[in-house]
Structure 1
Amino acid sequence: SGVPGRFQAAIEILVEMVADQAKGIVHSAESRKFVAPVALTVFFWIFLMNSMDFLPVDLLPKIWALISGNEHAYLRVVPTADLNGTLGMSIGVLLICLYYNIKIKGFGGWIHELFTAPFGSHPLLYPINFLMQMIEFLAKTVSHGMRLFGNMYAGELVFMLIALMGGTATVFGFLGHIVAGSIWAVFHILIVALQAFIFMMLTLVYIGQAHESH
């Protein structure tokens, strides 16, 4: 009780930010009871996974090598720099979207929409409409996961290239490694937070679209 501390205030700002974004995109108050916490979880989860990029490139592999006794320990530290992880999360979002499509429109209403949107309900247009719907679901899911993966994979590669500079037996390479690594780490803080925010917003947008009828 009493005046909230800085940590509590920061958490409340994040919670209110996500709640406001969810309110503007998902218009069902009942759905927001689930969707808003999901969006907040997505943001924090991806932010923490992205933040693994700030660990020294060889820190965890060295620790594993000491524990296991295996000198050749290879480890990709950043989970979001692996396409399996990002596509897994985007498929999870797709399943939530399918759930809300059926819950809001009913199974029959959703099937009807698959065959009648976006070009109309003429029987000759059913195959085209269905194909367009499948392409839309596929494009959303793949681009959702690929966007996060591409940005984090590129950032991880830059960190690795900068780390290689420090391995050169020259003063220039050592100083360049420190300066470039520090600059890129500061810039990467923005990328880490921005990519988590974008993934969260796209999650809200896709779920919001599942509530709308064509």
Structure 2
Amino acid sequence: MSTESNPGEYISHHLQNFCVGQCENMGFWSFKLDTLFISFGIAVILIYIGYRVGRDLSLSKPSGIQNVIEIVVEFVDQQIKDIFPGRNLLIGPLALTIFVWVFLMNTMDLIPVDLLPKLAGGVGIHSLRAVPTAEIDTTFALALTVFALIVYYNIKVKGLVGYIKQFLFHPFGKYLIPINVIMTTIEELAKPVSLGLRLFGNMFAGELIFLLIALLSLAGYGAAWVPQIILDTLWAIFHILIITLQAFIFMLLTIVYLSIAHTKEEH
């Protein structure tokens, strides 16, 4: 059945990953190769650009890409100065990496939805998803990495006993320890859940809207490509704000959560 007569099949096809392993039920040993290759490919490009700019760094005649990187670095550095207490050499590189990497993965949503799948089809790959952050696996991998750092710095700064006390005596004091444990556990687990779901939800919704707009040109209503171009352009302009905002929020919450972990006072 053609995608023109079955829009559901068209959308379903675009939401299928290039996968190996236990792909039918998406078991533990299923590997979404498109998500892995695209996300790591973006990371490699990011590292290479950073290396080239660092190697050719010029104070008198900075290149355009150097100016852009300096603006981003200064922006991230200002956020850290405004939020983070004390000094930690990891926070700056971590926040910068999260912001730029998440932003670049998000920008894959601006590529026409049929372009990369058709190119992949030419080499025998019949399903491909181009937006890593529209995959809940990616967003939760990032969120759980941040959560691991939160736990690590809580224990490092407060000590293991101090971290356990946070669960026992926060927020209602020593007379409601069972309730404190439940409330604090929920509060801690909400951090990676909110980080992962917020990014995934926004990017997945954006991907679906682009697919729905693309269906206009497949519906067979004459010059349907005209409204598709208009709607695609309008949504892409608005979506640039969304992908930037989501990268910023993920970075900002990471800084906030780690700043709380570095603070010894109760919250």
1:40 pairs, out of 85, 96, 109, with 96
Cα distance in 2 between the residues matched to 1:120 and 1:24: 30
1:140 pairs, out of 188, 191, 196, with 191
Identity of aligned residues (%): 48
Paired residues for 1:56-205 under 5 Å:
56-68=112-124, 73-122=126-175, 125-205=176-256
- Following superposition, the deviation at residue 3 of structure 1 comes to 3.0
- Following superposition, the deviation at residue 121 of structure 1 comes to 2.5
Could you list the runs of 5+ residues in structure 2 that have no partner in the other structure? 1-57
Partner of 1:4: 62
| Conserved? CA contact 2:80–2:255, under 8 Å | yes
State the Cα deviation string for residues 83-125 of structure 1 (Å, max 9, x = none). 1111111111111100110111111111122211111123xx2
Partner of 2:174, secondary structure, is: coil
| Conserved? CA contact 1:87–1:141, under 8 Å | yes
| Higher helix content, 1 or 2 | 1
Cα distance in 2 between the residues matched to 1:110 and 1:137: 12
Cα distance in 1 between the residues matched to 2:171 and 2:257: 17
Structure number with the bigger relative contact order (C-alpha 8 A, sep ≥ 6) is: 1
Partner of 2:77: 19
Query: Superposition RMSD on alpha carbons, in Å?
Result: 1.3
**Structure 1 length-normalised TM:** 0.92
Partner of 2:17: none
Amino acid at match of 2:152: Y
Runs of 4+ in 1 over 6 A off after TM superposition: none
Cα distance in 1 between the residues matched to 2:219 and 2:170: 60
| Conserved? CA contact 1:100–1:210, under 8 Å | yes
Partner of 2:122, secondary structure, is: helix
Partner of 1:171, secondary structure, is: coil
